[in-house]
Structure 1
Amino acid sequence: MSKKVFIGRKLREARMYRGKTIDVLAKETNINKKDIIAFEEEKYKPTLENEMKLSNTLGFPREFFKYADNIKMTIDSTHIRPECTIPKVEQIAFKEKLAMTHRILTFLEGYIQFPQMNIPTDLNKNEDIEELATKVRRYWNLGDGIIGNMLTLLEINGIVVSDANIEKKGALSFSQKQTVNGNSRYFISLGNDKKSACTRNYDLAYELAYIVATEANIQSKKFSKDEFACAFLMPKESFIQDLKMVNDLEDYVELKKKWIVPISAIILRAYQLGEISYKKYMYLMNEMDKKGWLKKEPLEENIKATSPMLLKKSIDVLIDNNIMSKASLVMNLSNWGLHLNQDEVEVLLGFKEGKLTTEKNTTNNKKAKVTKVNFKSKKR
């Protein structure tokens, strides 16, 4: 970790992280646009006054712009849904948040043994979607039953899920494959799913489809993620048996309660399996539209989703094993080279505001006595 007077790349990183264009940042800081461009290109350095303006406006400590971390990170691929209406700068900000989350995880890996990536290595691009969905289910020993919690399933198989954007209106889930120091891992950011377990399960299965397509070397545009999500969440043999009992739209509500997936996905799956005709499919979807269910399905408030726990639990492990306190986490991150404000760390870890200031002792720093703790051995 080396210190410089001011690192232009870090300014650009912080600006993108906040979803700000150069024009917007110039207006908010009252700094000339040409100067900001020059700062980012390191043609010259900002004055102390301008440095403070940039730091305060972007919400990063001044040290963030002075230290170059030693993490070699690459974003191998990103999946953003084509129907996403979030402005481009905000999409870039979401990507930056996931990259920062990976940096924090890399720091925590000095103390915690996280679940390793556990994805089948024999995924074949010549296999159809049903076969690929079945292969992943078999690899994870899921049988043909109901998957009640996709989030936990992904976390225990080494896929990191973030809820940093769930309060953002219009945000959809998206995924990234990132490599740090030669080690690759997938990250998924949840969208604004209203904390509905059914929607969250489907969204995560949809993102898993992107991961499977990437690992099988299938062009994402040629791989139906909706078809995979339906096949993965509602396996053919066992799900067809339940469809035999369905007659009207209200029956689909009961299936939603059982399978923890959206009604619209259940109807789509019934059509995929040939259990209903296209005419029946369109009729059911029109009925859902008339009832207002395409905007808000029934049971959404009754079946609540769980939150990501991988990073939160890792902090509990550190506390339980007396490695560091919550209050010293930010300081230890800074000592490691990742300079972030406390509120930013809380957001990225999924904590409530003020979580890292609940302890009076802020001097506990045991980095010199690192203890590797196996995350899988802890209770969830």
Structure 2
Amino acid sequence: MDKKIFNGKRLKNARLFRGLTLTELAENTGISKQSLSLYENEKNTPEHERVRALATSLNFPYDFFFQMDAWETVTDVTYFRSLASATKMDRTAQSIKLEYVAKIYEVLMNYIDFPALNLPEVSFDGSDDEFDNKKIEETQKQIESIALKLREFWGIGDAPIKNLQFLLEKNGVIITGFDTLEDKIDAFSQRTIVGNGDIYFIAVALGQRPEGRIRFDMAHELGHILLHPWSENLELITKEEFKAREKQANMFASAFLLPKSSFSKDVQAYPTDLKYYQFLKKKWKVSIQAMAYRSNQLGIISDNQFQYMMRQISKNGWRTKEPDDVPYSLNENIFQGALDLLIEEKVLNPASIMRTLKQYGITLYRTDIEKLLHLREGTLFIEESKPQIIQLKRPYDEDGGNK
């Protein structure tokens, strides 16, 4: 029988998962910061009661701290939207959570034939120099070409995209949602290496964000997936380089969601009329501000016209809330479909799903798993079966009875 050994790396993992510093965890548990550091670095082992206190404070199962990972999830880099306003702890917590999503995906791959990643090969060498107009123009041309190539590759023509989440999942890009702080992280994307293949995950912030903004966030992250390198530490690039990549991802999102040929025809009728943009919003499912930006990008309206329109948008209070905005609700994603299929086909049930995940070192409470995978509440709820201690009397034989 394997001996239980405390895993300090898992303590650190759980702490970061909850977005806590050593100081905060010390205050929550009454265990000194120095002791916690020794535990995390496996230079000391906590007593049983302290492990219980840590498990309770962090809301992790006790057994979690005594497991080894079945495999290491290899993650190169995570692209965060709104990176400037998010702290390093905010980003680390969300990155770790997405790694757990990747681990669960790898387990489910043993049972489910998920759509394969289906992206075209593209070449992009856009300039990071925001002051070189010639290079910026060339970058824009490259991005327009890549967005058009992707639409052709996926066979979706130049019409508005009705269900972007389904389109991405159909082509092997995994979508999930997290409850994140509204003003810090809009969305983020991450690559995980499984065997010889890559899996890309996009996580969008849930809450009160409108449909147009969430769709743009998804397309923005898709831009990072296609355009930018996934083998470098983003902490080491300059702010100017990161700003340039964000701008390029925005360019891609605009070009992909609002294709040049069809959107230009639509908007040219009344290119400076905000009421008309409000009408187009229902068709293209993109914000008025994004459409105005795209019109300026395509040269349909001048810089002065665009600036005037943005002033009007601000005056109307539309910067934060536009007309016809409705909170976006992420559709049931590919994880919900996978688990429903396993349960309906009686391959696994909620109890065996949780046991299987535990065998692979994924020992989390079901509520955390449901949030990580953006599942319906109660999907993994396990009903306790009561032991049967009474039985019905067997019926008498025809020639039996009380004799």
TM (normalized to structure 1)? Answer: 0.88
> Please, which of 179, 191, 196 is the counterpart of residue 177 of structure 1?
191
User: In the aligned structure 1, how far is the partner of 2:209 from the partner of 2:340?
Assistant: 23
| Alpha-carbon distance in 2 for matches of 1:362, 1:180 | 41
Match in the other structure for 2:226: 212
Q: Are residues 1:160 and 2:174 paired? A: yes
Within 5 Å, give how 1:58-69 maps onto structure 2: 58-69=58-69
The match for 1:5 is 5
Judging changes above 3 Å, is the alpha-carbon distance between structure 1 residues 217 and 109 closer, same or farther for their aligned structure 2 residues? closer
Pick closer, same or farther for the CA change 1:176–1:360 going to 2, 3 Å.
same
* The one of 212, 220, 228 aligned to 1:198: 212
Aligned residue pair count:
361
The 8 Å contact of residues 119 and 157 in structure 1, kept in 2 or not, is answered as yes
Could you tell me whether the CA contact under 8 Å between 1:133 and 1:232 is conserved in 2?
Answer: yes
The aligned residue for residue 286 of structure 1 is 311
- Counterpart contact for 2:174–2:200, Cα < 8 Å: yes
CA distance in 1, matches of 2:341, 2:262: 39
- Partners of 1:216 and 1:78 in 2: how far apart? 8
1:236-271, Cα deviation, whole Å (9 max, x unpaired): 111111012224111100111110001110000000
Pair 1:309 & 2:323 matched = no
Which stretch of the first structure deviates more once superposed, 35-44 or 192-201? 192-201
Percentage of pairs with the same residue:
33
CA contact (8 A) 2:179 2:207 kept: no
Q: Is 1:264 matched up with 2:289?
A: yes
Change (3 A) 1:318 1:340: same
Structure 1 position 113, deviation (Å): 0.8
Distance change in 2, residues 1:37/1:179 (3 Å)? same
Q: Is the 8 A contact 2:85 2:183 kept in 1?
A: no
8 Å Cα contact 1:197/1:306 also seen in 2: no
Residue 226 of structure 1: CA displacement?
1.2
AA matched with 2:74: T
Q: Which residue of 1 aligns with 2:95?
A: 95
Offset of 1:361 from its aligned partner? 5.7
Q: 1:275 aligns with which of 268, 285, 300?
A: 300
Q: SS of 1:20's equivalent?
A: coil
- Structure 2 residue corresponding to 1:319, chosen from 326, 333, 343: 343
Give 1:311 deviation, angstroms: 0.5
Find the aligned partners of 2:163 and 2:339 in 1 and give their Cα distance: 22
- 1:254 matched to 2:268? The reply is no
C-alpha displacement at 1:139, in angstroms?
Answer: 0.9
Residue 336 of structure 1 aligns with which residue? 360
CA separation in 1, counterparts of 2:153 and 2:384?
46
Amino acid at match of 1:187: F
What letter matches 1:229 in structure 2? A
Whether the 8 Å CA contact 1:71–1:181 is kept in 2: the answer is: no
147-156 or 271-280: bigger deviation? 147-156
CA–CA distance in 2 between the matches of 1:256 and 1:271? Answer: 16
Secondary structure of 2:185's aligned partner: coil
When the two chains are superposed, the root-mean-square deviation of aligned CA atoms in Å is 2.4
Separation of aligned partners in 2, 1:217 and 1:133: 23
Query: Against the structure 1 CA distance between its residues 60 and 362, is the aligned structure 2 distance closer, same or farther, given a 3 Å change threshold?
Result: farther
Structure 1 stretches lacking a partner, 5+ long: 364-380
Q: For 1:147 and 1:125, locate their aligned partners in 2 and report how far apart those are by CA, in whole Å.
A: 27
Residues 42-51 or 195-204, more deviating = 195-204
The answer to whether the 8 Å contact 1:253/1:263 transfers is: yes
Q: Structure 2, unaligned stretches of length 5 or more?
A: 127-140, 233-240, 388-403
The whole-number CA distance in structure 2 between the counterparts of 1:70 and 1:114 is 21
The whole-number CA distance in structure 1 between the counterparts of 2:386 and 2:145 is: 53
* SS class of match (1:356): coil
Q: Secondary structure at the match of 1:344?
A: helix
> What is the SS of the residue equivalent to 1:343?
helix
Q: Deviations over 1:132-182 (max 9, x none)?
A: 111111111111111122111111111111112257664310111122344
1:354 equivalent to 2:378? Answer: yes
CA contact (8 A) 1:84 1:171 kept: no
Q: Would the aligned equivalents of 1:173 and 1:207 in 2 still touch at CA under 8 Å?
A: yes
Matched, 1:238 2:262: yes
CA contact (8 A) 2:80 2:185 kept: no
How far 1:216 sits from its partner (Å)?
A: 9.8
- Please tell me whether the aligned partners of residues 292 and 306 of structure 2 are also in contact (alpha carbons under 8 angstroms): yes
Residues 173-231 of structure 1: CA deviation (Å, up to 9, x unaligned): 01111223443211111024625221111111111111111369997654411111110
Give the whole-Å Cα distance in 2 for the aligned partners of 1:80 and 1:195. 17
Question: d(CA) in 2 for partners of 1:183 and 1:44?
Answer: 38
Q: Which moved more, 1:222-231 or 1:105-114?
A: 222-231
Normalization by structure 2: what TM-score? 0.84
CA contact (8 A) 2:11 2:40 kept: yes
**Distance between the aligned counterparts of 1:3 and 1:261, measured in 2?**
56
Aligned-pair CA distance for 1:290: 0.7
Asked whether the 8 Å contact 2:70–2:360 carries over to 1, the reply is no
What SS does the aligned partner of 2:335 have?
A: helix
- Further displaced range: 29-38 or 241-250: 241-250
Kept after mapping to 2: 8 A contact 1:19/1:93: yes
Q: For residues 67 and 168 of structure 1, do their structure 2 counterparts lie closer, same or farther at Cα, with a shift above 3 Å needed?
A: farther
Q: Is the 8 A contact 1:206 1:226 kept in 2?
A: yes
Contact 1:161 1:308 in 2 (8 A): no
